């Protein structure tokens, strides 16, 4: 069994004297006992230093990796949430498109109903106009047929009045002639 060495030998780069340095000083700056030159010493375990560097590099790498994993995880969650939002929005969009189609169809139906009503209204108005024309013509005919007898009646009345006047005139002539003849002793029958 050999005990772990507690010191190692370092050579001063200035005066080239060998120095006994405690292991714990490895990697540290020391002062040479002989020339007081300051330099850094490395013990036999100095390879551990790069190992530690490697270890810390691995540690850093691991940290970086878990940081990236975390970022990756967050990104995936955000992506999943964005995707579910997209699904919701697509569903909503689809509903709105359906609604729009329904409204379009309804509007189209209303337009065609409206057009039918307008056509019907026009047809009825035209029929009414024809009826009015016909009634006007009938009224005119009636008025004309009424005025014709009136005119005839008037003419007949005038004729009657004329005849009565002639009759009265004749009566009066007859009376005066009769009295004249009576005066002459002639009696008329």
User: 147 Cβ partners below 8 Å, 6+ apart?
Assistant: none
Name the residue nearer to Zn ion (CB basis): 11 or 55: 11
Measure the CA angle with vertex 145, ends 139 and 147; round to 5°.
Answer: 100
Contact status: 15 vs Zn ion (CB under 5 A):
yes
Identified binder of Zn ion from the candidate list 8, 10, 12, 26, rule CB under 5 A: 12
Task: Count the Cβ atoms, other than its own, within 10 Å of residue 37.
Answer: 13
* Displacement of CA 81 from its chain's centroid (Å): 28
Cβ closer to Zn ion: 30 or 48?
30
Does position 175 interact with Zn ion (CB under 5 A)? The reply is: no
CA–CA distance, 68 with 61 (Å, rounded to integer)? 10
Least distance in Å: CB of 72 to Zn ion? 55
CB of 31 to Zn ion, least distance (A): 9
Residue 38 Cβ vs Zn ion, minimum distance, rounded to whole Å: 10
What is the sign of the dihedral through the CA atoms of 156, 158, 159 and 165? Answer: positive
CA angle 50, 52, 55 (to 5 degrees): 110
| Torsion sign (Cα): 28, 32, 38, 44 | negative
Rounded CA-CA distance 176/118 in Å is 85
Q: How many chain residues touch Zn ion (CB under 5 A)? A: 7
The binding track of 31-70 with respect to Zn ion, each residue x by CB under 5 A or -, is -x-xx-x---------------------------------
Compare residues 31 and 118 and give the one whose CB is closer to Zn ion. Answer: 31
Give min distance, CB of 18 to Zn ion, in A: 10
Q: Return phi, psi of residue 18, to 5°.
A: -75, 140
Choices 29-37, 92-100, 107-115, 123-131; region in contact with Zn ion by CB under 5 A: 29-37
Among 13, 14, 107, 146, binds Zn ion (CB under 5 A): 14
Smallest gap from residue 10 Cβ to Zn ion (A): 10
Residue ranges binding Zn ion (CB under 5 A)? 12, 14-15, 32, 34-35, 37
């Amino acid at each position: 069994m050999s005990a772990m060495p507690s010191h190692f030998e370092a050579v001063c780069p200035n005066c080239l004297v060998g120095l006994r340095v405690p292991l714990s000083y490895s990697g540290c700056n020391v002062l040479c006992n002989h020339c007081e030159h300051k330099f850094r010493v490395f013990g036999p375990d100095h390879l551990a230093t790069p190992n530690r560097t490697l270890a810390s590099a691995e540690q850093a790498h691991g940290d970086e990796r878990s940081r990236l994993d975390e970022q990756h995880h967050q990104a995936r969650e955000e992506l999943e949430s964005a995707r579910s939002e997209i699904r919701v929005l697509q569903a909503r969009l689809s509903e709105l498109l359906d609604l729009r189609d329904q409204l379009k169809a309804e509007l189209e139906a209303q337009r065609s109903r409206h057009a039918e009503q307008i056509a019907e209204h026009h047809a009825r108005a035209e029929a009414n106009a024809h009826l009015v024309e016909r009634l006007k013509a009938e009224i005119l005919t009636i008025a004309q047929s009424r005025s014709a007898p009136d005119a005839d009646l008037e003419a007949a009345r005038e004729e009657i009045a004329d005849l009565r006047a002639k009759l009265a005139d004749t009566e009066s002539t007859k009376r005066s002639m009769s009295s004249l003849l009576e005066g002459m002793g002639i009696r008329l029958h």
